[in-house]
Amino acid sequence: MTKSEETQSLVEQALKVASRHGEAVVRGQDILRHQIRISNSEIDIFKQWRSRVLAVFVAVDGRIGTTEIIDPTPKSLQTRIDHLISFVRGLQPTPLFSGLQKEFRSPSKVEQLYDKRIREFPERAPEVVAASLDEAQKAGAKRTAGSFFFDEIVTDLSTSEGFRGDYRASSYRMTLRSFVDPESSGQGIAVGRVLNDIEAQLSRAGRESGEIASLAVGGKQGKPGTYDLVLHPTVAASILGALIKGANPVQILMGNSPLKDRIGQQLGPETVTIWDDGTIPNGLGSAPFDFEGTPTQRTQIIRKGTLEQLVHNTSSSRMLQTKSTGNCQLAQFFIGSKLMIPGPTNIVFKQGEQSFEELLEPARPTIYVTSNWYLRYTSALEGTFSTIPRDGMFLIEKGEIGQPIQKLRITDNLVRMLGAIDGLGREVRQIRWWEVNTPTFIPFIRIRDVSMTAATQ
Amino acid sequence: MMFHDVAQQGVEYGAKQGADYVELRYVQTLMESFLTRNGDIISAGSTETEGIGIRALAEGGMSFVATASLAKGDVEKAVQTAVRLARASRRKTPLALSEEPVIQTHWEVPVETPFTEIPPDTKLKRLLAVEKELTKIFDATALPIRTALLIAETSKKYIATSEGTRVESDYSLGRLAGRLTAKGAKGTEQRYFSRGAAAGWEFFAAPQFIETFIEEAKAVHRVADQAKPVAFDKPVDVIIGPEVAGIIAHENCGHPSEADRIQGREGANAGESFWMDIDIGTTRVGSTAVTVIDDPTLLRSGGFYLYDDEGVKARPRYLIKEGIANELFHDRQTAARAGVHSNGSSRASAYDREPIPRMANTYIAAGDYTVEELVEDIRLGVFIDNFTEWNIDDRRYQSKYTGSLARIIRKGEVTDEYVRRPVLELTSRGLFESVDACARGFASEQAICGKSDPSQGIPVWTAGPEAVRMRRIRLGGVQA
């Protein structure tokens, strides 16, 4: 029996045990993941994770529960599922579950989901990483730090309602940071599923991080105030992506989104169109079907500035008399166990018409922000937040990147910022890194009148 | 085969493969969690994980391999892979580990009633009792979203190294968390809070479990109902409660004093540190009133441990002593590079994560004053009990804390005038230099500290005395 046949067999055994008691989903994943971590321009550690994980969801008389069984055997899965069933019987029915998907269509066809060259990649990886570090150094970096993941995952899904499906996927993601001195840094990101141009992608990330770090040398304390911001895709994905992740009925129910009762409202200019797309080629969030077997799809969230739709799984769609959008996920809510809720796959922003240089053109006080982290809410319901730029940040002077500045904080409101978009770039990049956990395809974006604050002492 | 034997054979096999150092860390964890919203159960889960994390040092390179299989062949294959990956690093500057005593011991969290003795329905009923009590006090308009979480976690760990260290431990942690949305005359406010203890079911059975939710709900509703924006045109004295003092101890002192950040190892992830630019033992980073300690050995604490994940004995770390930067968090790798010994700071969040320098229970040390004494000479100021939004840059220098429950201090007394969302937007130095006195007492908040990539959420306490006084603070951040 091959490894994937073994996994399939374990998934079927688990489903048989679980579905005796009620509705059930079992997802088996064979995961082989590697990571290379870099600092001071050298490899700090080379890691490997090899695991088989069975994620089990059960619903018994409206009572739901989940578990994950790592490296299961026929005996251990029987014990763990018996335990889960007994655990679930001690609970109470939940309003968040109203049954699994029962009408199945063919899984979506997803291009560029898997590249078999990933299998031989561990041998090549140190060399490819070294080449990207060289690019960073050629662009001016004195030292580099990075985190490079690559993996292969085989997924098998079976549900008590009769769905059976499987797929194989590969992926990589690199975050590379260059430093010229401790306060002059730049970041580059490379993300994808197929390895066709991985060397070029990693080299570009290295080069960009080095260039930003070099330009950031001599940074001065920024002057607080109101500015137009040109956001690098990394920053736009963090800030605007955070708002779009709130186009989710469960997030709204839990008070985590400012988008309650806003469907049909014009939230942004007509140039802004955003969708969730679980089928986009090379997307890290792409897959042929979701956690309950519904085919993934493209779901319009904002069309020409108007909030049109939320993402759904079967249960949430029934609550709102609509249809699942193929966004069922087993996700962690904040801490604790995972739950079956709708979630984003890949967030995609429609490209604009402007070049990066054109976005820098207006003669208003403008700052270019290349990276950020720590987006935190004063009120998630309102969308009031702040986040800290990190790496190079620059004043725009005469339509060009000018004086590097430091130590300013973006302090604003997500809904207001969406409404204030006044420029979208032509080049769309896929962003996924530590601060952006939903893969987001997004261009450079210009936003008007953003509040920038600074420390008082 | 017992995990002791698996680990023993694994380290022996690693030595035969030519590794300079091999470490096997077996971890078995059972976590049960329950999440409710307005009395409805939203999520519940029971997950048991078991596996081994392996580190190998060979030819100056380090590797980490995780396997969930304890079968002899699989463990040997994982060890073999670890040694191969370590060699593949081809480092120019070889990595090393500091020399530390070989330890053979067992430690455990003292538990009165193990979580495993309490059935799931009892755990859920206890969580639902929160809703029952909250709805006695608040109607659905005043407190429209009430989220409550209970997490019971137990784990067994066994660390074996090729040097002969063998440390076994039994661990138990209870955590509660709440997220409340309150509506009042002045608007809507949200509040997240968490408490925790290294303990068994007795943590949840205690009356404080429900009292915490009630006190928090009253406080956030008071803010929504009464707090008004106040513009201070001049700097004012600010007193912060233990929750704010705790997050400051953690973010403005704890993170910058992690040696791996200072050595650049978190450069692409959690970032570096402004402590890179200072001299440990001599540089002043705060006033003489500021001492910040991290102590993993506090009994019942949310960050409790007695030996770290490299088998090094834990002890209190004096990070800032009377204003002077005093000590860093070291694991054996950072200690070797710095030419010092580890101070037992190495922690991993799960079997499949590498151990790295982490905090445990970080707090601003208490002073000799009563809260009344701190307040009595303030003509106009603000007492910030707790906070909502916060963030800090990756060098841990530019921080922001937005107050939630905050009251005006006028003529030496804390009034019932509530201030809406006062902002402390300060540098780490500006913040610690402004402190002139600390009150007595100690109170803690449970937190999950995030660091590294893949992310490792580690349970910690952030804590402080009843009050810390900061002089002449310009509130609100600098805006044009």
SS3 letters for A376-427?
Answer: EEEECCCCEEEEEECCCEEEEECCEEEEEEECCEEEEEHHHHHHCEEEEEEE
**What confidence score (pLDDT) does residue B90 get?**
85
**What confidence score (pLDDT) does residue B89 get?**
87
- Work out the mean pLDDT of chain A and round it to a whole number: 96
Q: Are the Cβ atoms of B427 and A457 closer than 8 angstroms?
A: yes
Q: What is the pLDDT of residues A91-122, one digit of tens each?
A: 999 988 999 999 999 999 999 999 999 999 99
* A128 and A199 Cβ atoms separated by less than 8 Å: yes
**Residues in A touching B34 (Cβ below 8 Å):** 91, 336
Q: Which of B149, B272, B388 sits opposite A336 (nearest CB)?
A: B149
Q: What is the pLDDT of residues A124-161, one digit of tens each?
A: 999 999 999 999 999 999 999 999 999 999 999 999 99
Q: Percentage of chain A with pLDDT > 70? A: 99
Which residue of B lies nearest to A58 if distances are taken between CA atoms?
Answer: B45
Q: What is the pLDDT of residues B62-121, one digit of tens each?
A: 999 999 999 999 999 999 999 999 999 889 999 999 999 999 999 999 999 999 999 999
Whether chain A has a CB inside 8 Å of the CB on B65: the answer is: yes
Q: Rounded to whole angstroms, how far apart are CA atoms B188 and B186? A: 7
Whether chain B has a CB inside 8 Å of the CB on A419: the answer is: no
**What confidence score (pLDDT) does residue A361 get?**
85
What confidence tier does A332 reach under pLDDT thresholds 50, 70, 90? confident
Whether chain A has a CB inside 8 Å of the CB on B177: the answer is: yes
**Residues in A touching B268 (Cβ below 8 Å):** 37-39, 145-147, 175-177, 187
* A316 and A325 Cβ atoms separated by less than 8 Å: no
* B43 and A86 Cβ atoms separated by less than 8 Å: no
Sheet holding B236-240, edge to edge: B413-418, B406-410, B380-384, B236-240, B468-473, B435-438
Whether chain A has a CB inside 8 Å of the CB on B390: the answer is: yes
Given a cut of 60, whether residue B479 has pLDDT beyond it is no
Q: What is the pLDDT of residues B361-370, one digit of tens each?
A: 999 999 999 9
Q: What value does the mean pLDDT take over residues A190-194?
A: 98
Q: Are the Cβ atoms of A65 and B474 closer than 8 angstroms?
A: no
Region(s) of chain A under CATH 3.30.2290.10: 3-215
Q: What is the pLDDT of residues A389-423, one digit of tens each?
A: 999 999 999 999 999 999 999 999 999 999 999 99
Residue among A298, A310, A328 nearest A252 (CA): A310
Cα of B108 to nearest chain A Cα, Å: 23
Q: For chain B, list the domains and their CATH numbers.
A: 3-226 (3.30.2290.10), 236-473 (no CATH)
B 316-345 residues with CB < 8 A to A: none
Q: Are the Cβ atoms of A390 and B272 closer than 8 angstroms?
A: no
Which residue of B lies nearest to A454 if distances are taken between CA atoms?
Answer: B478
Q: Rounded to whole angstroms, how far apart are CA atoms B179 and B85? A: 44
Q: What value does the mean pLDDT take over residues A182-187?
A: 97
**What confidence score (pLDDT) does residue B478 get?**
64
Q: What value does the mean pLDDT take over residues B261-284?
A: 96
Given a cut of 80, whether residue A363 has pLDDT beyond it is no
Given a cut of 50, whether residue B480 has pLDDT beyond it is no
Given a cut of 80, whether residue A333 has pLDDT beyond it is no
**What confidence score (pLDDT) does residue A334 get?**
64
Residue partners of B209: CB distance under 8 A and separation at least 6: B126, B130, B176, B203
Query: Any idea of the CA torsion for A405, A409, A410, A413, to the nearest 10 degrees?
Result: -170
Cα of B173 to nearest chain A Cα, Å: 13
**What confidence score (pLDDT) does residue A456 get?**
87
Q: What value does the mean pLDDT take over residues A59-68?
A: 93
CATH node for A3-215: 3.30.2290.10
- Work out the mean pLDDT of chain B and round it to a whole number: 96
Helix (H, G, I), strand (E, B) or coil at A247: coil
**What confidence score (pLDDT) does residue B305 get?**
98
Q: What value does the mean pLDDT take over residues B406-416?
A: 97
**What confidence score (pLDDT) does residue B190 get?**
96
Given a cut of 70, whether residue B135 has pLDDT beyond it is yes
Q: Which of B151, B390, B397 sits opposite A336 (nearest CB)?
A: B151
Whether chain A has a CB inside 8 Å of the CB on B479: the answer is: yes
Whether chain B has a CB inside 8 Å of the CB on A98: the answer is: no
Quick one: DSSP state of residue B284?
B
What confidence tier does B45 reach under pLDDT thresholds 50, 70, 90? confident
